[in-house]
Structure 1
Amino acid sequence: MEHVTDRHALEVLSTAESLRLLGSRPLGRLAYVDRGAPSIVPVNHLVDGHTVVFRALHGAKSDALLMGRPVAFEVDDHDPSRRVGWSVLVRGTATPVSDEEARRFAAELDSWAADTAVRHTIVRLVPDEITGRRLRERTEALVTQDQGPSDL
């Protein structure tokens, strides 16, 4: 099977494959700007259509997320012994979900907070861009096509 690759010989994943992989792991990393500094935190998430849904504890993180600024979310996996892996990056804007949606998602989303009484907001990341790359074993056939800079 032939695969389209970027200039770094990484397979370029379709949006559908990127979303499938994004939903295959429960934990990802959320990147946002908090008080002028970049922050990256692990969050449990769900894929809902083309969006990512997660919990944000009330406070600085939820305040920073809901200011309409760009955020990013990344999920990956790798096998260092075989030197294979993949990475999916979602860039977009975070918005709070409706109360009805929050009740539905709250039951499905695990929380990192030890205290289950801690208040949180259920947040939806609406993507402007979804990109995915995969590093395959070198024995597989590849077709090179420059897709621009890689995020891996």
Structure 2
Amino acid sequence: MDQVTDRHDLEVLSLSECLTLLASRPLGRLAYVDRGVPHIVPVNHLVDGNTVIFRALHGAKTDALLLDRPVAFEVDDHDPSRAVGWSVLVHGTAHPVTDEESRRFAAELESWAAGTSMRHVIVRLVPDEVTGRRLKTPE
């Protein structure tokens, strides 16, 4: 099958490839807007079906996340020595995870900052769009 490329000659990834790559890295970057100011923070995550599950500290970040506003989540990898890499971007809305689900996922999700013992809430990012690009392997 021929690879689909975008206008920059990057390979366009399928939804399946995007979800596989999202699941392959434990750390991603969450982007959201709080009081008109954009924020990007690192978060550990898991992929559950087509959704992304992550932990957020109780407080301003959680309040801003759970206001049914658009958020974005990004994961990538790059090897400059071989000129290869990829990125996956998820746009959607964040929702608190139910208590039953929280117990299941909380055991698997570590905080990206070792030793963090603050109270967290488990959040599910429900995507409206998942896109990915990969640097084409040199021929």
How many angstroms does 1:36 deviate by? 1.1
Where in structure 2 are the equivalents of 1:115-134 lying within 5 Å? 115-116=116-117, 118-134=118-134
1:13 alignment counterpart: 13
Counterpart of 1:84?
A: 84
After TM superposition, give the deviation of residue 83 of structure 1 in Å.
1.0
Judge conservation of contact 2:71–2:93 (CA < 8 Å) in 1.
Answer: yes
Gaps of at least 5 residues in structure 2 are none
The alignment of Structure 1 onto Structure 2 pairs a total of residues equal to 138
1:97-108 correspondence runs (5 A): 97-108=97-108
Deviation (angstroms), 1:13 = 0.4
* Aligned residues: CA RMSD: 1.0
Equivalent position SS for 1:112: coil
Aligned to 2:73: 73
Please give the secondary structure, in 2, of the residue aligned with 1:5.
coil
% identical equivalent positions: 78
Mapped to 2, the partners of 1:50 and 1:83 lie a distance apart of 29
**3-state SS of paired residue (1:86):** strand
C-alpha offsets along residues 93-134 of structure 1, whole Å, 9 cap, x if unaligned? 000010000000000000135342x11110000000000100
SS in 1 for 2:107: helix
* Residues 115, 76 of structure 1: alpha-carbon distance in 2 compared, 3 angstrom cutoff: closer
Q: Deviations over 1:38-80 (max 9, x none)?
A: 0000000000000000000001110110011000000000100
Contact 2:27–2:112, Cα closer than 8 Å, also in 1: no
Provide the C-alpha distance between the structure 1 equivalents of 2:95 and 2:11, rounded to a whole number of angstroms. Answer: 31
State the match for 2:54 in structure 1: 54
Deviation at 1:137, TM superposition (A): 2.3
Rg: which structure is higher? Answer: 1
**TM score, norm. by length of structure 1:** 0.88
Output the amino acid matched with 2:96.
P
Letter in 1 for 2:53: V
Name the CA distance, whole Å, in 2 between partners of 1:74 and 1:86: 11
How does the TM-score come out when normalised to structure 2?
0.96
Q: 2:111 is paired with a residue of what secondary structure? A: coil
